[in-house]
């Protein structure tokens, strides 16, 4: 299993086990809370507030044919649950499902991470 998604509160449809993620999935990206401002003397000033899990977005891409109830589960999770638990090879995180889209034969799920669980 590559990933799983489960609402924090009880749901009869949970969990959503994702057996296969497509290679175009993006859950390894990381960034710091940083910005750069150009100065009049040609230099720059940096502001660095460090790393935060809540700055990460995760995009999971999976085959549409993997699970016939996939769309129903995702729709249910989005409508009735404000937070879900995401388990990926990098760890376990609290997140919200921002959206899901069907693109061709694949399903794309976009999540905002909140914290490590």
Domain ranges of the chain: 3-116
Tell me whether residue 55 is exposed, middle or buried, using C-beta atoms within 10 angstroms of its C-beta: 0 to 12, 13 to 18, 19 or more. Answer: middle
CA distance 4 to 84: 10
- Say which CATH class 3-116 falls into: mainly beta
Task: For residue range 94-108, list pLDDT tens digits in order.
Answer: 999 998 888 777 888
Distance of CA 113 to the CA centre of its chain: 6
Task: For residue range 22-57, list pLDDT tens digits in order.
Answer: 888 888 888 888 999 999 999 999 999 999 999 899
Task: For residue range 49-73, list pLDDT tens digits in order.
Answer: 999 999 899 999 888 765 567 778 8
pTM: 0.80
Q: How many other β-carbons are positioned within 10 Å of the β-carbon of residue 78?
A: 16
């Amino acid at each position: 299993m590559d990933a799983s998604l489960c609402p924090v509160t009880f749901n009869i449809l949970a969990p959503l086990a994702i057996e296969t993620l497509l290679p175009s999935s993006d859950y390894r990206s990381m960034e710091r809370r940083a910005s750069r401002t150009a100065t009049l003397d040609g230099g720059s000033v940096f502001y660095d507030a460090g790393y935060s899990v809540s700055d990460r977005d995760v995009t999971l891409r999976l085959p549409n044919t993997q699970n016939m109830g996939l769309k129903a589960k995702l729709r249910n999770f989005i409508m009735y649950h404000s937070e879900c638990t995401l388990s990926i090879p990098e760890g376990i995180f609290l997140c919200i499902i921002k959206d899901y889209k069907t693109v061709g034969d694949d399903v794309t799920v976009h999540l905002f991470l909140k914290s490590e669980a």
